[in-house]
Every structure is written in structure tokens, then in C-alpha cells.
Structure 1
Amino acid sequence: MTDTDRTTPGPVPGPGGDGGLDARLVVERDAFRLDVTLTAAPGEVLALLGPNGAGKTTALRALAGLVALSDGHLRLDGAELDRTPPESRPVGVVFQDYLLFPHLTALDNVAFGPRCQGASKSAARERAAGWLERMGLAEHANAKPRRLSGGQAQRVALARALATRPRLLLLDEPLAALDARTRLDVRAQLRRHLAEFEAVAVLVTHDPLDAMVLADRLVVIEDGAVVQEGAPSDIARRPRTDYIAQLVGLNLFRGHADGHTVRLGDGPTVDVTVTELLAGDVFVAFPPSAVTLYRERPAGVSARNLWRCEVAGLETHGDLIRADLTGELPLAADLTTVSAAELDLRPGATVWASVKASQTHAYPA
């Protein structure tokens, strides 16, 4: 065995040596309870998505061994990790603030993990140099963190995590510290590196774009529980909570369907276009861009859905103006700056909101 291959003994795989992650994480702390089940195959990137305080970071820390489980189990490649100390787990972590050692060069930051695993200084530095080259940072090997840009520091932190050859890679808001321009470039690079990673990766983020671009599967957590999981495209198309709908930019309502009509509780009805007649509880979703606004009740409009609303607020949303509406049906509407000016929109103004049935999407609740 060479110095490069020598590692600290880790947990022994269980019978069958099943690959991937199999965990039920139960953490009870004061008034908060986390209870989530996570499974992922080798090579899969799992994103934990949810609002602040939902339990995402607690779940990540439980996987790393930094928070003890109150109940449940944690198996990685068939090995039980519940009682394995953090330093003995085959887990690499990229923290939100990267936590690079300020007194060490980029090379020695990356070599730190292999050194802790028993590799000689020369072998650890050789492995670190290889990772820096893969990250496009070979020319920055001797630079200390203060001389690195945000994107470069992020890649050094990723290289440091990968240099230990983990079977589970944990990324805690890995792009949050970057400016918008850098984030775009680093996101693309991170996606490439994750695609090459052969074990399980778990990403925590509150940014839907990061989750959609980087992950194979999303797990949405609210109030310590999983509320929806699946492929990014499925979740974006069929959100099941208000949080997810707002995240992916949809108006979402729950009601009772009868054919092509959905009654929203005690509120108005929504006409929908579906290939098969619906019956029972359903969700109805449509984007803010599908909403057309009028200052007077329109005559001869083809849209079957028309509601009287009041402008509660206006805000810039990219190149558009987003109107927050209350009234018969609380919803969001997107329109151009010119249209908003022509309609003389302002808080308190009465408007009529219309949506064509063909622009709605209905699916079972």
C-alpha cells in the first residue's frame, strides 16, 4: 500500500454492500423536530430545498455527524454510520463560507484532508496538485485564500472535499457567497464536477436555479418534513405547496374538480383545459405571465376566467413588473413597465384579471 492510498480505517460495509445513501434523519431539538427520509444512488446529486428554518442545514449536519440523531438510521454503501464520529466518516463537506485555512496555500488546504487520512506530505501534496489542476487552479497553488477570488476559493474548497475521496459529498449553500456574475460561471463548473463524481452528493440550497441546474432530484423540506420530492422538471410543473409554487414562479390553488371546472373552496371557479376529465381534489397552477389585467371589466374577452381584484403591491421582477393582487382570487401577475404605466397601476387600484383556460395546468392533489 502506498502513502497515497493509505487512509484511516472507516466503517465496514454491511451485508450485501449496497451502494448509495439510505437515511432516516430524526432530530429533536427544543420545539423543532426534523424527520426526513433520504435515499440516493451512487452518482446521484440530491438537492435539499426549503425556506429558512425548514431543517435543511440540520439534515446536512446530521449526515456529517455534527448533529446526533434522536432516532432513525444512516447507512452509506451499506455501512452503518449512526455512531461513527465525524472524522471517521467517508464524507466531504463544502461549507457556505468555505472555511479555508487562511495561513495555508491553496495546495496545502487541499492536501490537509489526505494528510489527516495518513498520507505523507509529498503524497498528499501530489494528490492536491492533481485536484487543483482539474479545477483549473494549478497556477494558484501557492496562493493563500486572501489572494483568491470568490469563485477560486469555492473551487479550492470543493477540491479539498474531493481530495479525501468521500463516498458522500455535502455542499451547504456552495454558491451563496458569490456575486451574480461569478455565480453563473461557478455554477456551470460545479455542475461539471458533480457530473463526474461517482458517489452520492447532497446539496443544500434555497436558490431554485441552483437546485434545478445542479441536482438530479429535489427533496423539498418544510417545517422539518418532506413535502415533495422528484425530478426538478416534475416539481417545477406540479408544485404541491405555496412555497414551491412561489419558488418556481407559479400561482397555485387547491380546489375540487368536476370535469373542466375547479371550485376553489368557498371562492370562485377556474375553468381548465385537460385531456381527461378531472374529479375530486386537484391543484390548479398557472404562471404570472398568463394573467392579463384590465382597468375596466372587459367585453368580448375569450378568457373564461375573469376575477375582480385589487392591487396590493408592485415590485420589479427581472425586466417586468409583478403585481400582487388580492380580491376574488389572490394572485400574482407579470406585465411590462409600459403596460403597468398605461394601466396606471398603483396600490389600491381595482383591476380585472383574466386567464385563458388553455394556460392553466390542473393535476390531482
Structure 2
Amino acid sequence: MTAARSHASPTSGSHGAEAERVTEEARDRGLDARLVVDRGSFHLDVALTAAPGDVVAVLGPNGAGKTTALRALAGLAPLSGGHLRLDGAELDGVPPEHRPVGVVFQDYLLFPHLSALDNVAFGPRCRGAAKVESRAQAAELLARLGLADHASARPAGLSGGQAQRVALARALAIRPRLLLLDEPLAALDARTRLDVRSQLRRHLAEFEAVAVLVTHDPLDAMVLADRLVVIERGQVVQEGSPADIARRPRTDYIAQLVGLNLYRGRADGHTVRLDTGAAITTTEELSGPAFVAFPPGAVTLHLDRPSGSSARNLWRCEVSGLETHGDQIRVDLTGELPLAADLTTIAAAELGLHPGALVWAAVKAAQTHAYPA
């Protein structure tokens, strides 16, 4: 991801009529929460609403408050203020074991001495269901998740993907009205993660209540969730659909997640001027505070000032770093406009790039995207 440069203030994005519909429906059917938690010097104040069938991903950097929010929803961290309502019922003060909430923990926390079947049956048994009924329900869930042949296996005999699905089945066995997933794919290797992500998306699509996913992985969030809520320093800084957030990031952290260079300045027509004095020409015509974003792949580098280029944006820069980024070379640049550029290995070699090298960076106006701040 690109190291985006901006001085963006943490302003929440609006998602309009859809948000109003979700909020209204969540008051009676779904999740309606304002989570206020004071923990020493850290203060969390996050509003979350979701209608039945919604999958909401909570994203944020380390220390943003993601885990605190999840623990508050689960009843494992007491609220200092705000409210927590699920299907119209107040949950604040209700013990965790009596909440209609299922949790899939990052490390799954399966009971090592129990079979997959008995791990899944554990929840219904604790809530008073008969052993035969609990095991029948567990068998049905395991079959639905493609694990019928592994019902008798203990966790040590399961693959990472199988263990993840057993943990999901165990959370679903209590028929929760709120399903919480704490970094559900973090314990998987890259190859398994790809398969399990697509399976989990299918299972979440069939879930009729609210699901809240806590993750730091943008791909997990984009693939699994209908709506993203990004928090930084305990506050919501942006929320909306994955497509909207990817297209219009409002903080450096979000820009890095979606792989964009991001700047904030003041627009006057087709020009956005930054506080540093640098200017960016765009195709959009705006007036007032504005963001400008463009991908590192839109940047071309030249050793000499290009004379025949059609690019409207041209800055003198110095190479500050080089690193492999997928099948390309990510070039970090400082100078008139700090930015990141992606080049092929051949292009980087032909330019003879190295830290300290001086180059011209060019970006066509049509490859920038400006929007109100």
C-alpha cells in the first residue's frame, strides 16, 4: 500500500439515505449502538448501526479501538456511556452468556479435548438444550459448512480452514442475533486464507441477523462486508460502502489501505493548491476545501524534464526509497510533492533509480480524482 501524504482531518463520510434506512431499521430490528468506553487514557466513542442481514467491517490501525469495540458488543468490556440495543432490546448490563451474541475469536479458542461436534453443541447445552437436541443441531451446522466428515475430529486434527469453520458453526449454534468476528482469517496462511475467505463470504450472505467483522486487512473487509466503519484513535473517521471508501478516502490511513496518494488543499476551478504550495491539476471543477487522490501507477518518472508530455502535473522530486511491491517497484519520493510511484522492474532499471536520485514525476489530470473535503 502506498504511503499517502496528506493532512486530512478525521471527518466522517456520509452515506446518505442508506445510512438513514439502516439506522431506522436498526432501532427495531438490528443493531443500534453507541459504544463509549473509557480505559485509562484511551477513550472510545463509536456509533454502529446495522440492519438484519448486514455485514459491517470495523477497520482501523493498531490501537484504534477495534478490539475494545468488539469486547463492548460482546459484553466483555463495560460501557462508560452510550447505549447498546439489539432488535430493540437494551443489552447494556446483560451478562455476556445471556446475550444473543455469537463470537468467532481470532484464535478460534476451540476446546482441545472435545470433538468438532461437541465443540459446536457446547453453546446450546449451556443454554439448557438436551444433549441429543444439541448434538443434532451441531451435526446439521457442520454439514451445512461442509464438515460432516470431520464431526468426530478434535481441533488438533483439523486444518486451519476447518478449525475456522468449526468456530463459526459454534458461534451460529446459539442462533445469535449478532455475530462478532475478530480477525477471523488472521490465523490462516495465505493460500488457505483465499479459499476460506470466499467460503466465509457465502456463509455470511446466508446469515439473517447482523454480523460485525473486526479486521485490519482491507481485502477481508472489502470482500466480506457490505459496509465499512473506519476508526482511528477511538473515533469514527469514515464509513460507507467499500466502493465509496476506496474511491474517496478521507485520511492517510484509509488512503494507505486502498493504495492511493492522498492530499488535502483548497480547490479553485481545476486546481487544488496544498498548504505546502504545491498544486495539482484535476479534471473536476471544485471550490473550497478538497481532497485529491491518485494511484501510484498513475505516476511516470523521468530523468530529464519531459518536453512533449501531455501530463498537466509535473514535480521535481528526489528518490527516498525503493522496495518490491508485488511484481513492481514502489518508489517513495520527496520534494515538491511527496508521493509514491509504481514502476515495472525494467522501467526502474532503465532509469537507474537509487536513493538520492533526482527525477521528474508526472501525472495526467485525468488520472487524478478530486472531491470535497
The TM tier, using the shorter chain, reads: over 0.9
Question: Which letter maps to 1:332?
Answer: A
**Aligned equivalent of 1:214, options 216, 220, 224:** 224
Once the two structures are superposed, the pairs formed by residues 71-86 of structure 1 within 5 Å of their partners are 71-86=81-96
**Aligned equivalent of 1:360, options 358, 363, 368:** 368
**Aligned equivalent of 2:211, options 201, 208, 228:** 201
CA distance in 2, matches of 1:112, 1:104: 9
Q: Which residue of 2 aligns with 1:30?
A: 40
Give CA deviations for 1:101-131 in whole Å, capped at 9, x if unaligned.
0000000000001101111111100000000
Measure how far apart 1:226 and its partner are.
0.1
Runs of 4+ in 1 over 3 A off after TM superposition: none
Equivalent residue pairs, number: 348
Q: Which residue of 1 aligns with 2:281?
A: 271
Q: Which residue of 1 aligns with 2:15?
A: none
Question: Which letter maps to 2:292?
Answer: V
Once the two structures are superposed, the pairs formed by residues 1-365 of structure 1 within 5 Å of their partners are 18-274=28-284, 277-365=285-373
With the length of structure 1 as denominator, give the TM-score of the two structures: 0.94
Judge conservation of contact 1:267–1:329 (CA < 8 Å) in 2.
no
Question: Which letter maps to 2:258?
Answer: V
Question: Which letter maps to 2:310?
Answer: S
Q: Which residue of 2 aligns with 1:5?
A: none
Give CA deviations for 1:135-190 in whole Å, capped at 9, x if unaligned.
10100000000000000000000000001100000000000010111000000000
Note the aligned Cα RMSD (angstroms).
0.9
Judge conservation of contact 1:74–1:81 (CA < 8 Å) in 2.
yes
Measure how far apart 1:60 and its partner are.
0.3
CA distance in 1, matches of 2:224, 2:277: 39
Question: Which letter maps to 2:71?
Answer: R
Judge conservation of contact 2:260–2:293 (CA < 8 Å) in 1.
yes
Q: Which residue of 1 aligns with 2:8?
A: none
Question: Which letter maps to 2:235?
Answer: A
CA distance in 2, matches of 1:262, 1:82: 47
Measure how far apart 1:17 and its partner are.
7.8
User: Structure 2 unaligned runs (5+)?
Assistant: 1-25
CA distance in 2, matches of 1:207, 1:17: 29
Measure how far apart 1:85 and its partner are.
0.5
CA distance in 1, matches of 2:371, 2:206: 36
Judge conservation of contact 2:271–2:280 (CA < 8 Å) in 1.
yes
Measure how far apart 1:266 and its partner are.
2.9
Secondary structure at 2:28 match in 1: coil
Give CA deviations for 1:209-253 in whole Å, capped at 9, x if unaligned.
000000000000000000000000000000000000010000000
CA distance in 1, matches of 2:134, 2:357: 66
The structure showing larger relative contact order (alpha-carbon pairs under 8 Å, at least 6 residues apart) is: 2
CA distance in 2, matches of 1:140, 1:332: 48
Over 3 Å counting, the alpha-carbon distance change for 1:307 and 1:246 in structure 2 is same
CA distance in 2, matches of 1:74, 1:332: 42
Judge conservation of contact 2:27–2:85 (CA < 8 Å) in 1.
no
Identity fraction in percent? 80
CA distance in 2, matches of 1:99, 1:246: 32
CA distance in 1, matches of 2:119, 2:157: 14
Measure how far apart 1:267 and its partner are.
2.1
Judge conservation of contact 1:17–1:79 (CA < 8 Å) in 2.
no
CA distance in 2, matches of 1:76, 1:261: 47
Secondary structure at 2:359 match in 1: strand
User: Structure 1 unaligned runs (5+)?
Assistant: 1-15
CA distance in 1, matches of 2:127, 2:27: 23
Measure how far apart 1:300 and its partner are.
1.4
CA distance in 1, matches of 2:368, 2:116: 52
Judge conservation of contact 1:26–1:70 (CA < 8 Å) in 2.
yes
